[in-house]
Amino acid sequence: MARPIKKLSAVKVRQEKMPGYYSDGGGLYLQVSPSGSKSWIFRYARNKKSHEVGLGAYMNVSLDVARERAEGMRRALGNGDDPLAMRHTERAKAAVKMTFAECAKAYIDAHRHGWKNIKHGEQWANTLATYAEPVIGKKNVALVDTHDVVHVLEPIWTTKNETASRLRGRIEKVLAWATTRGLREGDNPARWKGHLDTLLAKPSAVQKGEHHAALPYPEIGKFMLALRAMDGVAARALEFAILSASRTNEIIGAHWNEIDTSAKLWTIPAERMKMKKEHRVPLCVRAVAILKEMEAIRHGDFVFPGMKEHSGLSNMSLLAVLKRMDRADLTVHGFRSTFRDWAAECTNFPRELAEKALAHAVRSEVEAAYQRGDLLAKRAKMMDAWAVYAGRTVTER
Confidence of residue 371 (pLDDT cuts 50, 70, 90): low
Q: What is the pLDDT of residue 364?
A: 47
Asked, for residue 45, whether it belongs to a domain, the answer is yes
Neighbours of 279 (CB within 10 A): 20
Q: Look at residue 57 and tell me whether its pLDDT is greater than 90.
A: no
Confidence of residue 118 (pLDDT cuts 50, 70, 90): low
32, β-bridge pairs? 20, 38
Domain boundary residue, one of 174, 207, 240: 207
% of the chain with per-residue pLDDT over 90 = 52
Q: Are residues 67 and 116 in the same domain?
A: no
**What is the spatial distance between Cα 2 and Cα 59, in angstroms, rounded to a whole number?**
30
Confidence of residue 286 (pLDDT cuts 50, 70, 90): very high
In this structure, the chain runs to a length of 397
Residue scoring higher pLDDT (223 or 182): 223
% of the chain with per-residue pLDDT over 70 = 89
Task: Please enumerate in sequence order all residues whose Cβ is within 8 A of that of 316, keeping only pairs 6 or more positions apart, or say none.
Answer: none
Q: Are residues 135 and 256 in the same domain?
A: no
Q: Are residues 361 and 291 in the same domain?
A: yes
Q: Are residues 337 and 299 in the same domain?
A: yes
Q: What is the pLDDT of residue 237?
A: 97
Count of domains for the chain: 3
Q: What is the pLDDT of residue 207?
A: 64
CATH number, domain of 66, equals 3.30.160.390
Taking Cα atoms as reference points, which of 313, 316, 343, 345 lies closest to residue 332? 316
Q: Are residues 201 and 85 in the same domain?
A: no
Q: What is the pLDDT of residue 369?
A: 47
Q: Taking residues 34-61, what's their average pLDDT? A: 86
Eight-state DSSP code of residue 333: T
pLDDT, tens digit (0-9, with 9 covering 90-100), for 299-310: 889 999 988 877
Q: Taking residues 69-92, what's their average pLDDT? A: 81
pLDDT, tens digit (0-9, with 9 covering 90-100), for 205-231: 776 544 557 899 999 999 999 999 999
CA distances from 252 to 165, 238, 321 (A): 23, 10, 14
Q: Are residues 222 and 363 in the same domain?
A: yes
Q: Taking residues 356-366, what's their average pLDDT? A: 68
Q: Are residues 46 and 66 in the same domain?
A: yes
Q: Look at residue 61 and tell me whether its pLDDT is greater than 80.
A: yes
CATH number, domain of 149, equals 1.10.150.130
Q: Are residues 336 and 236 in the same domain?
A: yes
Residue scoring higher pLDDT (163 or 228): 228
258 is in which domain, residue-wise?
217-396
Q: Taking residues 279-292, what's their average pLDDT? A: 96
Q: Look at residue 295 and tell me whether its pLDDT is greater than 90.
A: yes
Residue scoring higher pLDDT (303 or 37): 303
Q: What is the pLDDT of residue 1?
A: 41
Q: What is the pLDDT of residue 284?
A: 96
Taking Cα atoms as reference points, which of 319, 301, 322 lies closest to residue 310? 301
Q: Are residues 242 and 386 in the same domain?
A: yes
